[in-house]
Amino acid sequence: MEKNIDDHSNTFPHKDEENNTNANNTPHSLSPKTEENAKEAKSDGENEKANDLDHVKGEPEEGDKEEKENEDVLTFEVTPETPPPNLEKVSEDIDQFLATPHENNNNNVSDNEEKIPEFVDKFLDLVEEKMARYKSCEKKWGETVEEDSSFLEDVNRVSKLMKLLSIMLTEFQSREEKEEEKEGEEEKKGEEENEKEKEKEKEKEKELQEKHAKKDNSILFNRVDAIQQRAMSYLEEEFHLLMEESRVENKPEPNGAHDSKGKNVATPESSENEPIETPMDFPGFKDEAITNLNKIAREMLFAGYDSECCHVYIVSRKHSFGDGLHKLGYERISIDEVQRMQWESLEREIPTWINTFKECATVWFPGERKLVASIFSEDPSMADTLYTNLTRVVVFQLLNFAESVAMAKRAAEKLFKSLDMYETLRDTIPNLEKLFPKDIVDEIKAEMTSAKNRLGEVAVLIFCELENSIKNDNGKTPVAGGAIHPLTRYIINYLRLSCEYKDTLEEVFREHSKIERSDSTSRPRYENENQHSNEKENESPFTGQLTRVMELLDTNLEGKAKLYKEVPLSCIFMMNNGRYIVQKIKSSTEFYQVMGETWYRKRSTELRTYHKNYQIETWGKILNCLSPKGLNDNNGKVPKPALKERFKTFNTLFDEIHKTQSTWVMHDEQLKSELRVSISSLVIPAYRSFLGRFSQYLDPGRQTEKYIKFQAEDIETYIDELFDGNPNHGTMARRRA
């Protein structure tokens, strides 16, 4: 569109010049014969040739020839008696002319095809005037629908004229080339007969006429081209304005509040009734705007200005996508930047990426495809191309971020975010056929699948590294009070969260079950071992790996339990950790399903075993003190020294147990209560029986007070103070004093 479109005044005559031209019986642009040709024809004096020309023009015979030569051939000559030409009437003539077939039959061009009607120039004059009024008008496109439609119809006529003239000039050029070839052949033939000479003269005359017609048509072609360029320039500007208006309407308000990511946030000054714009408004084009854009695009494409129209569209929509991404809080981050980011920062970016990806797949891309198909409905192939060029940039930008996360240093805390991204890609891939044209679906699917598999591989490796984290936890300092070990909390909570991704992890483990790892200790135990081949044959890879982690945790806890010097405290430690594991698994449906009912029952049985072992190790000696065995001699008498020693030993043992085990910890309240009840049911009845049977053998008063320090109610009270982790409970002797 860089042609000189304002210099047609130098090419075409002004009104005065037009009148002078008409006076000489020659149209200013389309006369089949210029003055020079006329003089040449007179000087030649070839009447037969002139008659032929008159016949081509459709004029009367020789008697009327002179009179016809003085007539003005312009259809619309403005005279005082005739009204000025009307664009509507001229347009009808143009439509009729364009509807008339202009075909080249046997390379012979008809007279009508060589002669362009004079009203074409008038039509072009009126179109130029209309364009000038349009450009000076301040009304927006679409405010006057009828006028806009009329303008587009006139532009369409100009485009059709342009195409017709282009075809005619091409035909002229083709005939000239053929004539040149024919002349060359005739020169080689030598002498020609007289009849052929006459025929040759006629052909030369016709050729001369065609040259004049071509010259005039070339001038007209340049003028139509200039008008078309101005019209397309105007339509391109209007197309751009319509695109930008819709984009600006969706941009955040300049005075609105935004968070650190650029998202709109509510402010106290905001009106409650004011709608808050969200990315769901995408693409934000009203039906009226789409209709107007479609009309303009249709005319620009018809005129061959598709590249200009598409350029405006693609630039505007790229900006719109940029605005939308900014509103969602997503900023483009390079691979190098991702590699340098701390996990805390990267972790905050991943949810934004997921939200943006889902928004694109469910809202933006379908909306954009519908928009471009509506605007460029005349050319679905072009609509697909525009949509592809626009969306693939966004897709690959998002996929680059996913690849960058997969390339980052592995760490246990990255597992769940990686799985979130994996699921996002996995759930989108089946819908790619609906989102993208067929010619790029395979390409997008391949790239998306690659990114998904990379994330899945990372998830598998991170999960398998749990084994190493357990093995490397070989601290020699026992947890105070037999409490739950931090490793237990970390591993069980990690596995519990992992089981929320059970289906996904089973999927990625199956996909990556053949991944080779250099460290055999971190290899998942889902390979069939000889001793468990039948049992594990149908076990999922993820279940096998999780079971392996649990086995390693049990082994680790058993080793840590041996760090305690007191066997009862080791039992408390195992009960605390075992109870924590069982309760966490029971509270998670997914975790419970993975471990299974058999495993759960087995662990519950182990807890009861630790409970029983604790009772034996702690309260066995107490119960021995309360046994009547050894206190009766053959005569039925109770030896006081032995009885006193029994009471003394009981008091010492119970005081020590209370002092020590009140500092121990039992985190599960239910287990604590069950343990206290079981101790009370074991100790208190035996103590009551012993006290009732043997207290009478002690002398009342000082001796009784010295050896009988506890009543049954006191024993129950002190048992209820066990496992509180409270050192103050160890002052029992002082409280009694």
> Which H, E and C letters describe 175-192, residue by residue?
HHHHHHHHHHHHHHHCCC
pLDDT of residue 103: 53
120 Cβ contact list (under 8 Å, min separation 6): 30, 94, 97, 161, 220
Among residues 378, 594, 640, which one has the least CA distance to residue 500? 594
Copy the structure tokens of residue 687. Answer: 């103590």
Between the alpha carbon of residue 395 and those of residues 279, 428, 435, the distances in Å are 17, 12, 11
176 Cβ contact list (under 8 Å, min separation 6): 210, 211, 214
pTM: 0.71
CA–centroid distance for 316 within its chain = 19
> Which letter does DSSP use for residue 697 in this model?
G
Between the alpha carbon of residue 462 and those of residues 458, 524, 700, the distances in Å are 6, 11, 72
Domain boundaries, the chain: 2-180+202-242, 280-471
The CATH homologous superfamily to which domain 280-471 belongs is Exocyst complex component Exo70 (1.20.1280.170)
Q: How far apart are CA 451 and CA 421, in angstroms?
A: 9
Residue type, 109: V
Report DSSP letters for 314-352, one per residue. Answer: HHHHHHHHHHHHHHTT-----HHHHHHS-HHHHHHHHHH
279 Cβ contact list (under 8 Å, min separation 6): 324, 327, 328, 359, 363, 364
> Which letter does DSSP use for residue 100 in this model?
S
Contact by Cβ (8 Å): 585, 592: yes
Residue type, 298: R
Copy the structure tokens of residue 46. Answer: 């070839």
Q: How far apart are CA 737 and CA 735, in angstroms?
A: 5
Q: How far apart are CA 468 and CA 472, in angstroms?
A: 6
**Grouped pLDDT means (10 residues each) for the chain, 737 residues:** 39 37 36 38 40 40 44 44 65 78 48 62 80 76 81 84 79 64 58 57 56 60 83 90 78 42 39 41 83 93 92 93 88 88 91 94 93 94 94 93 92 93 95 91 94 94 92 90 94 95 93 56 45 55 92 94 94 95 93 92 94 93 87 72 88 93 92 93 92 82 81 92 78 50
Copy the structure tokens of residue 459. Answer: 């998830």
Q: How far apart are CA 135 and CA 281, in angstroms?
A: 33
pLDDT of residue 137: 74
Copy the structure tokens of residue 686. Answer: 């035996």
Report DSSP letters for 37-90, one per residue. Answer: HHHHHHHHT-HHHHHHHHHHHT---GGGHHHHHTS---S----TTSPPP-HHHH
pLDDT of residue 359: 92
pLDDT of residue 545: 92
Torsion of CA 62, 67, 72, 75, to 10 degrees: -70
